[in-house]
Structures are given as structure tokens and as C-alpha cells.
Structure 1
């Protein structure tokens, strides 16, 4: 997947910029942006951003009151989406065409989930447990960067799908 290096670089840049920032507000700007109902994204308000990582095409923003349990925001950017950095004092978008969701920190820094085009399918899941075991990550296979030729042959032998469908 050619997107993995881009997603990984995006996660590293966001972590360098916002790690340690305390969450002030999560604001879904579009009806379809938030994909889960429980736990509430507001449960993470007051917690610092502990890490930003990547799993396949998803960004994982982990908020926790300490090094222990917390909440992970799983963000799918779709094809052209981004978590755009908004500097302190930036105008707050109010319409879905300007952004799908906004993370605002106590310092005034913000992250705006954007997606070009008209479909607006990017989304945010709020996960309280291990993100790897929860939707949407539970249905993913192994990381593409960690599969060698032998493992790929095993995966292909276990599926009777055509190559095109297997790779999807």
C-alpha cells in the first residue's frame, strides 16, 4: 500500500507537534464523522495526548490520564483526508464542508479532520479497550510491512479468492 509511508509520516509529525497537549474539546462537525456512540469522545477531555501512531490506513490518537488506561481515537482518513493542524487562534469551522471533526487542546492548538470531495466518508471511532481488538481494526490482517514471502504464500493459500479480491 503506497499510503502507509504517508500515514506513518503524518502520525510522526502529529505526535512531535501535539504529544502532551491536553484535550479541551472534541467537536464532530458532521453527522457522519463519529462512528461510535460509546464511549463518548468527551470522556477524554482533560487528558493529555500520549501518542499518535498508525495501523494500516488508520491514525491512532491515544489519550490517557496517566500511562495506564485511556481512550484511543481511531481516525480513518479515506483517500485524501488529513488531520490538519490549526494554530492557536485559528477560526473554528462550523460546517462539514470545512471539516468533519475538530480536536481542540487547552493550549489553543487544534486538529481538524478534513476530506476533499463530496463523499465525506472519513471517520473517528472512540475505543476504550485495545484498539487492535476493536472495530474497525479487528478485521485487518497483518501489517503489509511485516509480511514476508512465506507468510504471503500462506495467506494466499488459505483464501480461495481471486488475487484482485485477496489484495483488497
Structure 2
């Protein structure tokens, strides 16, 4: 699952590669991906890309037509969406993932939006204001923004009887954190994934708030400039507990275990996070 550090790097890549290029067409390989049925992608033909912005795990590709502004293509990457870039004449990639949407440029370059999931999660919208689209409008604060203050986090965590793992992944609460980084944040903060947010002490809330910013800030720095076809591999390699079931914790040496009920999708360290007692 792409999360905010990878999506931010992708937005930067699109800004660098696509800004100033003219869109020839946007082709839907899977019509279900379009969420704005009254705004067809044809609206983007002939428009020049002016930039790209990130909203949580979404990217908006902004455009302008000659003599005025234009709509944006808002991309939601969901659980398994990603992107592939090619210039005119580039060979097709081996073992390519299914392409859901193709953004073709007049000079022959192409941005292909892919989805590796068993069910379609990638989606696109054509919109005059991405911030008004439901998927963006409902987002909570970005953890690296000035809005994510300690006081704001206290207001979020202090009243929620929800397990920390689930709370961190709730996009309406915090934008951009998914399964992998929630594991990494909780491990670094030495907190159990199943404890309720409202049960945290003041010191634990302060530690978690700082750790969220530290872990994501380091990930943003590490992902920046990495080619988009290497983003997933770099992310996987950086994980300390997520996806490391059965391996030794790099902090204490205990065995990393699966969070019960996660079907192997989430991990934690008993010594670092649950007082040495494995979750039942």
C-alpha cells in the first residue's frame, strides 16, 4: 500500500517530469475507476500540466488550457494503486502490472496508473477543486503539517476508545498513514497496537505525537528522489518490524510477531511494545 512518503515522492516526480507537457488524451482501461461520471477525462485534452499536489494518499495533477485555468486529475491510490512513467520509445516493463488509466502526452510520454490488488482500489476524478472532492475533503490533518500540533493530537487521541493501530490508519483522523508506517510508528513509540487511544497517559500521547512526526519525516526524506519504480522496494527494505514476522527485533532482539487477527498483515515486538507479553 502506498502511503504518504511514497505518494509525496510520486507527486514530486510528476511535477518534475510532466509540468509543461500537453495532455493528448486520458484513456480509461477500467471505466469503474472514474468517480466523476459527469466529468469525463476528455476535458483534459489539450491542457498543459502546471504542477502536482499531494493530499494524504492522493495526487492532483493540475492543468491549464491556453488563456486560462483548467481542471485537475485527482488520483486516489487506494490499497494497491501506483504509477509508471515512460518516454517515447521506452520498452515496456517486464511483468507489468495491470494499467487502469493512461495519461498520454503530445510528445509521446505516458503516465500509466496501475493497480496490483485483487479488487480495484485506484480511482480518478476530474475536478475544478480537489479539496472539495469527498475523498480529500474528509481527510484529517497531515501529520507533517503545521496543523498537527500536540494539542490537536490530544484532542484526537484523548477521547477515542479505538485501538491505536486502527486510529493511525483512519484517514479522517490523520491523512496518509497506512498499515506499514502505523506498525513502524508504534514500534518506535514503544506502544501496543491494540491499546485504546483514550487509555494513553499524557507522556505516552506526547511520545506518540513526536514519533509520528519523526518516523514519517525520516521516511519522506528517504523516499525523496528515489525512482518511482524503486519506491516499493526501498520502503520494504526500510521496515524494522512491518513484514518481519519471525525475525529478530533490531532494537531488543526479541522475535517479531503478527498482530492477532491481522492475518499476517501487521507486526509488533512484544519486548518493545507489550511488556514482553505476546498479544493473545
Q: Which residue of 1 aligns with 2:108?
A: 108
Q: Which residue of 2 aligns with 1:12?
A: 12
Q: Which residue of 2 aligns with 1:136?
A: 135
In structure 1, C-alpha distance between the alignment counterparts of 2:40 and 2:137, rounded to whole Å: 20
Deviation of residue 127 (structure 1)? 0.8
In structure 1, C-alpha distance between the alignment counterparts of 2:25 and 2:90, rounded to whole Å: 15
TM-score by length of 1: 0.85
Higher relative contact order structure (alpha carbons within 8 Å, sequence separation ≥ 6): 1
Check whether the contact 2:23–2:103 (CA below 8 A) recurs between aligned residues.
yes
In structure 2, C-alpha distance between the alignment counterparts of 1:3 and 1:67, rounded to whole Å: 36
Deviation of residue 136 (structure 1)? 1.5
Q: Secondary structure at the match of 1:145?
A: coil
Task: Write the mapping of 1:62-73 to structure 2, written as runs, cut at 5 A.
Answer: 62-65=62-65, 68-73=68-73
For structure 1, the residue ranges without an aligned partner over 5 or more in a row are: none
- Measured on the aligned residues, the alpha-carbon RMSD in Å equals 2.2
In structure 2, C-alpha distance between the alignment counterparts of 1:132 and 1:91, rounded to whole Å: 36
TM-score by length of 2: 0.53
Q: Which residue of 2 aligns with 1:34?
A: 34
Deviation of residue 29 (structure 1)? 0.2
Deviation of residue 15 (structure 1)? 1.0
Q: Which has the higher helix share?
A: 2
Deviation per residue, 1:70-121 (Å, 9 max, x gap) = 11111111234222102214589xxxx6300000000010010011132121
Check whether the contact 2:79–2:117 (CA below 8 A) recurs between aligned residues.
no
